[in-house]
Amino acid sequence: MLSGDMPSLSTLFGDRLTAVMPRGAGRLASPDLPGVGAALAAAALARRAPSRVALAVTPGPADHERVYADLCALGRDSGVTPETFPPAAANDAESTGVRARVIAALAAGGEPQHATPGERFPTVIVTSLQALVQPAPTPEALAEASLSLHVGARYAFDDVVARLVAAGYERSAEVDAPGRLAVRGGLLDIWPSAAPAPWRAEFFDTELESLRTFDPATQCSTGHGTAVWLPPCSEAAMPTVQLVDLLPPGCAVLWLDHDRIRAGTFFPPEDVADPLSWEALQARVAARSPACQLYSGDPPPPQTPALPLEIAALPGLAELGAEEAHHPELLMQARQRLLADFSRRAEAGETVLLFADTPGTCELLARELGPATCVQIRRAPLSGGFALPGLTVAAQPDLYAVRKQSLRRAPAAAARGGRVENAADLEPGDLVVHVDHGIGRFLGSTEIEVDGQRSEVFTIEYAEGAKLHVPVTHAHLLSRYVGVAGHRAKLHRLGGRRWTREKADAERAVADLAVSLLDTQARRQVVEGLAFNAEPPWLHEFEASFPYQETDDQVKVIEEVKRDMASPRPMDRLICGDAGYGKTEIAMRAAFIAVMNGRQVAVLVPTTVLAEQHYETFTDRMSAYPVKIAVLSRFQSHSAHKRILADARHGRLDIVIGTHALLGSEVSFQNLGLLIIDEEQRFGVTHKEKLKQVRQVVDVLTLSATPIPRTLYMSMTGARDMSLLQTPPRERVAVETRVARDADTVLRSAIRQELNRGGQVYVLYNRVMTIGLMQRRLEGLVPEARIAVAHGQMPAQALARVMRRFEAGEIDVLLCTTIVESGLDIPRANTMLIHRADRFGIADLYQLRGRVGRSSQKGFAWLLLPEYGHVDEDGRQRIAALQKHSGLGAGFNLALRDLEIRGAGNLLGAAQSGHIAAIGFGLYCQLLRRTIARLKGEAPPLLVDVDLDLDFIDLSPGSVDPESAACLPYAYVEDEAHRMILHRRLAETITIKEVSALRRELADRYGRPPAAVLRLLRLTELRVLAAQKALGRIETREQKIYFYKLRERAPLLVHGRLPVLKGKDAAQRLDALFHALKAL
């Protein structure tokens, strides 16, 4: 039965624990606490402790994550507030903030900073030995460095900003990551280091008028608050104390696996100057007079009475003899035996609880158990179950032999995709494209005077030093020039013919492309493909055994793929997503569906190393099912190669993974149903032609990590099925990019920092000739590390062996060439050092950086520049761009920043690359979008291109007359890039609704709009209405209104004469204009 109002698991466990705990016992030993037992024991101790605080100490980061995740999964049912205390990490604002929150809570007697008076639960602090022995800031120093803001209170605005900068917050134009702040007039945007979302504080003079949270992706407000706490972003130079010295008297301490913790104190982290021994740690805890200390694990510590708690691990699937067989039928039988056992226990009066991760699995288990069952089914992703007399708890990992990893990080990271419009940021010196005049260099915005009127313009320099001033109302005619890798654009001449010719060529090419895209689409609609059964047997078990929590995007894309496969027309879907966002899992599910429908699958990958890795991943995920998988690459011997080809031809293989060898003429399949292509852009033209022929008959799924810019994605909707994966997995942390000189000290400290937290390191060295010298240098710097070399010129077998050892964790440092560039997934390798980073293209650096930070551990990418000597300007710019865009999902911005739109070139074909290079990417996409709409018989989007020349309006932002100004005053929007974006958005607006939305957004992001801004928005509405009536220009002079139709010279007359402009001030005259326009 799906449980309703039953006692919580925490209560059931707590009652049993309390019943066997002797009164007044200060130290107790318990057996191992399996599965969720550790989290429940910590919660029970916190509820019993007089101070209502419990500290749970784990031996390492994996247990730390597991116990904290279990407490978060139990939610309010746990009856406690879980807090995590991570190890200190330099330059990591988030972990500094989380540590600060715990220290502040302990200083306040265990009350969390963010607790509201109604919900004062006991607190459980989960930490690891490494974090426990590191020094932490004293509560006094922390209080001095922190700041609290309350609505209605008064503050000196400049002092607030100065204090926050001193506390380690970094000033930026826009807040998109923890630890940053931005100032705009009386608005302060800040992302507190311990908060899941950023805050916006609006001041009126010295009074704090309002506090709002906002979404970092859209920069728009999402909620209101009355107070916010701003802890520091750095612990540097603060007086320190040990965390145990802050525990309140009467607390409880749980030592999980005390033997391993004790052993860990013999090898303290290197950065701790005066590490505590086990004995010293025990003495410090005893000095805090704890109410109870519970030591779990065998054997118990000496002189510690045992707790008579008969807790045992569940007889999971391993003991039931199914693990050796690894066969789905046997696994299913084993699960049914377990469920039958649970039913018997429940009928005998025991309490039996089953926890599943998803609603789907809950329903499946309810069906398997039948409607009359006494077993309670609940939903929570727990790490595992246990058995106590009278109480049996099982979690999904006990039933499916796989544990879903989902670290409960604040969802902040998911929002940090970096905004796509920022990719169009124009900075002085950038190349721009003007629709009518071609490619020029953007010099910035200035004010000029024309006919006695000052107005703001964007200045663009063309060939031979000619300058063009573009009014801000025409900002939509400008776009940043994004071309094709390796193409140097030449500036056009103003009034020259080259631009007109290139634009006309591109328009023709776009029309051809749109026709061919729609033609392929139409032909595929007609061809009868395979209609798969999208929910074949065992699919549910296969999905449940995915070891991570699916992201929202993944769920959506999986549904789209299933829909495509179930429809009778051939699937041709492109999935774009950053490295590590879960594309491979979607491909594996599609492959599984195809195989279960009796069809074969071909997986095409660009490199041998990646083919091997995919083979391991597929084999690992499908090992429990009767699926035959083979890999075709240069790691195979000639005879193995022949055997695989014969097996594929006769249908003895279900899935074949291989490099372009798979496209050879000698390869054939008995009944191919699905082709999966990974990183299609890395295959040559001939290979692509071969793929085109295959496309029309079988289902094709293409994966790409080279980000497809959003503009292209939008302009191609309706011409190709595309899915975007933009939410990072819950536990992904943005990779931090650091730039340093290639010095011994840097190498040594970066490698040791990673090894200390139990990780692995890539050292990227791209010169095979001298890689041996580098190996000797590393062995001298970190003699304790196990170092191995991998490069493409090694014998295939040797290379495969090294990669497998690295994956298994038998190698600490892998010294390698760019052979690791694509697709490798080794979650423990979280530091990469790139030698001579200035010699790599940005797309390569981006791909390489995607190899680290693939788990919940923060990744570090060190870009090493030569210790002495000069780095060329291009190299410097590439590295600066990579540092700037280091957030999650930053690939879109980078793809644009680098003019390396490889995504565009290969998605559209090489022939189109020349035209993209000639007219720029933005304009190309606009043309493509309009052409596709026209060919499909849809109305193309409205073009608002109306000139306004109103003699009663002053368009200068430096205007002295507030009564007639219509502009964005500099005091209101300071940042030049922001002004450019806003002018563009005003110019691109095509409906009154969009103008209203922009008005709300301006008020939210920049404060109350002054009269000049409201007038500017009114003018935008006027232009939209005029465009709807097909006008091209509106003028006012000498109290008369002149309306001109597009491309006509004579003004429109109403009842045979020009309309009269009435009104005393600008507001009344604007009303009269709108009235006259509506009467047309």
Q: How far apart are CA 784 and CA 780, in angstroms?
A: 9
Nearest alpha-carbon partner for 625 in 585, 651, 596: 596
Q: Do the beta carbons of residue 272 and residue 135 sit within 8 Å? A: yes
Residue 890 is predicted with a pLDDT of 47
Integer angstrom CA distances of residue 448 from 70, 958, 1036: 64, 11, 21
SS (H, E, C) 836-905: CHHHCCHHHHHHHHCCCCCCCCCCEEEEEECCCCCCCHHHHHHHHHHHHCCCCCCHHHHHHHCCCCHHHH
Q: How far apart are CA 348 and CA 151, in angstroms?
A: 59
Q: Do the beta carbons of residue 402 and residue 357 sit within 8 Å? A: no
The DSSP letter of residue 1060 is B
Helix (H, G, I), strand (E, B) or coil at 408: coil
Helix (H, G, I), strand (E, B) or coil at 70: helix
Report the relative pairing of strands 829-834 and 760-764 from DSSP bridges.
parallel
Q: How far apart are CA 166 and CA 1003, in angstroms?
A: 29
> 754 Cβ partners below 8 Å, 6+ apart?
760, 761, 830, 831, 860
Q: How far apart are CA 768 and CA 764, in angstroms?
A: 11
Q: How far apart are CA 480 and CA 919, in angstroms?
A: 11
Q: Which residues of 122-133 are buried (b: 16+ CB within 10 A; e: fewer)?
A: bbbbbbbbbbbb
H or E stretch at 346: helix 328-347
Q: How far apart are CA 10 and CA 75, in angstroms?
A: 10
The label of the residue with tokens 């931005």 reads 182
Q: How far apart are CA 37 and CA 207, in angstroms?
A: 50
Q: How far apart are CA 832 and CA 764, in angstroms?
A: 7
Helix (H, G, I), strand (E, B) or coil at 838: helix
For the chain, 1080 residues long, the average pLDDT of each consecutive 10-residue run is 68 90 86 92 94 94 88 90 88 86 86 54 93 92 94 94 93 86 91 90 92 87 93 90 92 93 80 83 93 90 87 69 50 81 92 85 82 90 91 86 46 34 59 87 84 82 90 80 67 88 83 73 71 88 78 89 90 78 91 95 88 83 85 83 92 92 84 87 66 72 66 53 71 71 90 82 92 94 93 84 85 87 71 88 71 74 81 68 54 42 47 66 70 74 80 81 87 82 84 93 91 94 91 91 90 88 91 90
Residue 440 β-bridge partners: 432
Please report, to the nearest 10 degrees, the dihedral formed by the alpha carbons of residues 1032, 1036, 1039, 1042 taken in order.
Answer: -20
Q: How many other CB atoms sit within 10 Å of the CB of residue 117? A: 6
Residue type at 551 in one-letter notation? T
Residue type at 705 in one-letter notation? A
Q: How far apart are CA 78 and CA 126, in angstroms?
A: 14
Q: Which residues of 217-232 are buried (b: 16+ CB within 10 A; e: fewer)?
A: bebebeeeeeebbbbb
Nearest alpha-carbon partner for 423 in 713, 221, 632: 713
The pTM of this model reads: 0.70
Q: Do the beta carbons of residue 413 and residue 859 sit within 8 Å? A: no
Integer angstrom CA distances of residue 874 from 227, 484, 839: 46, 16, 10
Q: How far apart are CA 487 and CA 507, in angstroms?
A: 20
Helix (H, G, I), strand (E, B) or coil at 660: helix
SS (H, E, C) 240-289: EECHHHHCCCCCEEEECCHHHHHHHCCCCCCCCCCCCCHHHHHHHHHHCC
Q: How far apart are CA 461 and CA 432, in angstroms?
A: 10
Q: Do the beta carbons of residue 211 and residue 114 sit within 8 Å? A: no
> 1029 Cβ partners below 8 Å, 6+ apart?
1077, 1080
Instruction: For residue 301, say if its preceding peptide bond is cis, omega within 30 degrees of 0.
Output: no
Residue type at 934 in one-letter notation? R
Report the relative pairing of strands 53-58 and 81-85 from DSSP bridges.
unpaired
Residue 411 is predicted with a pLDDT of 35
Nearest alpha-carbon partner for 605 in 659, 554, 647: 659
SS (H, E, C) 759-814: CEEEEECCCHHHHHHHHHHHHHHCCCCCEEEECCCCCHHHHHHHHHHHHCCCCCEE
Report the relative pairing of strands 721-725 and 699-704 from DSSP bridges.
unpaired
The DSSP letter of residue 465 is G
Tokens (6 digits) for 740: 């340093």
The torsion angles phi and psi of 654, rounded to 5 degrees, stand at -95, -40
Integer angstrom CA distances of residue 602 from 331, 655, 967: 27, 6, 59
Q: Do the beta carbons of residue 926 and residue 914 sit within 8 Å? A: no
Residue type at 266 in one-letter notation? F
Tokens (6 digits) for 263: 């052993």
The two most distant CA atoms of the chain are separated, in Å, by 109
Q: Do the beta carbons of residue 268 and residue 260 sit within 8 Å? A: no
H or E stretch at 576: strand 572-577
